[in-house]
Amino acid sequence: MVQTRPQVVAHRGASATNAEHTLGAYVAALDEGAEALECDVRLTADGHLVCVHDRDLRRTAHRDGIVSTMELADLEDLDFAAWKNPWADLDDEALDADPELARVLTMRRLLETAVEYPRRVELAIETKHPTRYAGLVERRLVQLLDEFGWAGRDSPARIMSFSWVALRRIRRLAPDLELVLLMRSPSQWYRSRPFVDSDWLAGPGIEFVRDHPELIAKMVRSGVRVHCWTVNETEDIDRCMELGVEAIITDTPGAAVTYVRTFDA
């Protein structure tokens, strides 16, 4: 199979070197050349969409609390970056950090960042499930995208989920948005087939791709577009390219961009 050069998507920003889902991580990813940004989205108790992966705050904010039960103002009081570099306060040579880059990031602020950047930036937005708010997450997300003119055809945004139910909600609300069904195993792919439209993209994890390359190749030959997560090693990038994977989601966007650009010549 002819190698194709995949789009490089920054997984939660440049998350190998920056605290995930912070504005600092996304700005770093863009400056490193990422062509798209991946984020997870959750809904706060007062109806704001925030870019947070975990349902609770123990890992990224070092405190108890469930995102869906807290208001945005309470989340904005927390430091979402200190966990990545817990000894920063002891570094006398470190530059003063901008607190704005370490706060909880709203989906609106991330969209504004993408719109304001001086080149086209795409977004791969994952809605997290299960959640107490069920379909309200998708409804609020489509409403927000529509404010930016991103809910129709040729939108720079695509919506991802492990839940085909969530993606069907998006299809009803914004039928022209691209949808990516995330999956960890072939069984998830086969079980979902009766509920998936023919134009949905497949989003296998890299372990899936490593263990079942023949299935990925079959998908691509049949016209299924494939986006793979989380691809950090050059051998995995090569594997994805050989199989015809269209986009790779990576923690190290700078290194991935540098590597795939060697195939542009």
pLDDT score recorded for residue 98: 82
On the question of pLDDT at 95 being above 60, the answer is: no
pLDDT (tens digit, 9 = 90+) per residue, 104-157?
Answer: 999 999 999 999 999 999 999 999 998 999 899 999 999 999 999 999 999 999
Query: How confident is the model over 79-105, as a mean pLDDT?
Result: 75
pLDDT score recorded for residue 1: 44
Domain count, the chain: 1
- Mean of all residue pLDDT scores within the chain: 94
Active-site position among 21, 48, 53, 62: 53
Map 120-159 to HEC letters. Answer: CCEEEEEECCCCCCCCHHHHHHHHHHHHCCCCCCCCCEEE
pTM of the model: 0.94
Query: How confident is the model over 161-188, as a mean pLDDT?
Result: 98
Question: 99: which DSSP letter?
Answer: G
CA 216 – CA 55 distance, rounded (Å): 31
Q: Is residue 81 part of a domain?
A: no
67 closest CA partner among 128, 23, 111, 113: 128
pLDDT score recorded for residue 195: 95
CATH code at 15? 3.20.20.190
Whole domain around residue 232: which residue ranges? 7-53+105-261
- 227 part of the active site: no
Q: Is residue 12 part of a domain?
A: yes
On the question of pLDDT at 159 being above 90, the answer is: yes
Q: Is residue 90 part of a domain?
A: no
pLDDT (tens digit, 9 = 90+) per residue, 183-218?
Answer: 999 999 999 999 999 999 999 999 999 999 999 999
